Amino acid sequence: MKELSLHINDIIENALKAEATLVKLTIVEEPVQNKLLIKISDNGKGMPKEFRSRAMDPFTTSRTTRPVGLGLSLFEASAKRSGGSLKLLSKENVGTVVLARFQYDHIDRAPLGNMVSTITAVILGLNKADFIYVHRIGGETFRLDTREIRQMLGDKVDLNDMEVIRWVRGYVREGLAELEDQR
Amino acid sequence: MKTYSVDALLAHEKFQLANPGVETNKEIGSVYIGDLLSWVMSHSEQNCAWITVQTHINIVAVAVLLEMSCIILPEGCTPDEDTQKKALEENIPLLVSPWTAYNIACFLKEKMES
């Protein structure tokens, strides 16, 4: 994949397919320490033990067995290619955690991509589920929690409402722009 | 094998310059195709036309480091905005083409041999 945000989208989609009601995305950029961390955790139905051992193998995750597709193997390849690694933790009926580490300045590390569009797309696909997005660069943190947004909106307005989405876009854009100075 | 120039390539309708203002009177001595930047860095050569689907800013760094003639993005890939700017700054012609890498390479081979 050309941008890491595509992997992120893919893994979050997995989480929602696994009936998660809460998905959390954490991105930590530490340029000084040459580290990039992407963590996606969910409270979905998790993977049975025997499936988990095969989850990273692109040849066993065929359509018949699957809560997961090629996403994990590609994400892992991406991480390994840039001097990093991918860790998968999953427990049935508890949830799943995907933790990818990258060497920040590795020449083969794909750029993060457009996080504003990515987050907007994720929120559009949530339905009833909630989403937390935490992005840290250096010492600064940006945070978004759809539970708080829903609370502000009350029951009458949907998260998918165009006005709301437009507001979210602006909020993420501004929040990330403030972080940029930390790079 | 004779050389061909970036200018001559741009005269063909299937190639467009993504960063106008850059110097295009450069000789193309060879062609290299690859998308894994670390691999390209250790295997391509000076004065080559490099065909890659990667569009992020690191491709400019690789082209500068190896003193390539130009970068060609195949199959309608478009460069990121900062890639375009950086390529102009560093004087690396950035070309886009609807053709596949294979078509582009065949075209260049033909031109470089005639």
Q: Which long-range contacts (CB under 8 A, 24 or more apart) does A76-79 make?
A: A76/A100, A78/A1, A78/A4, A78/A7, A78/A102, A78/A110
Instruction: Using 70 as the pLDDT threshold, list the residues of chain B that sit under it.
Output: 1
Query: DSSP letter at A65?
Result: G
Q: Which member of B38, B41, B56 has the closest CB to residue A110?
A: B56
Sequence-ordered alpha helix ranges (H) in A112-161: 115-124, 146-153
Summarize pLDDT for B63-86 with one digit per residue, the tens.
Answer: 999 999 999 999 999 999 999 999
Q: Is the pLDDT of residue A69 over 90?
A: no
Q: What is the mean pLDDT of residues A138-161?
A: 92
**Distance in angstroms (rounded) separating the CA atoms of residues A56 and A52:** 8
Residue A2 Cα, gap to closest chain B Cα (Å): 7
Q: Which residue of A has its CA nearest to B80?
A: A113
User: Is the pLDDT reported for residue A61 higher than 60?
Assistant: no
Q: Does A32 touch chain B (CB under 8 A)?
A: no
Mean pLDDT of A25-49: 96
> Residue A171's pLDDT is what?
96
- A24: tokens are 């959390």
Q: Which residue has the tokens 């991480």?
A: A79
Residue A58 is predicted with a pLDDT of 73
Closest CA to A145 of A156, A130, A135, A167: A130
> What DSSP line would sit under B90-114, residue for residue?
TT--EEE-SS-HHHHHHHHHHHHH-
Confidence of residue A53 (pLDDT cuts 50, 70, 90): confident
Q: With an 8 Å Cβ cutoff, are A111 and B57 in contact?
A: yes
pTM: 0.88
Parallel, antiparallel or unpaired: strands A22-30 and B4-5: unpaired
| Confidence label for A181 from pLDDT (cuts 50, 70 and 90) | confident
Question: Which residues of chain B does A110 touch, with a Cβ-Cβ cutoff of 8 Å?
Answer: 56
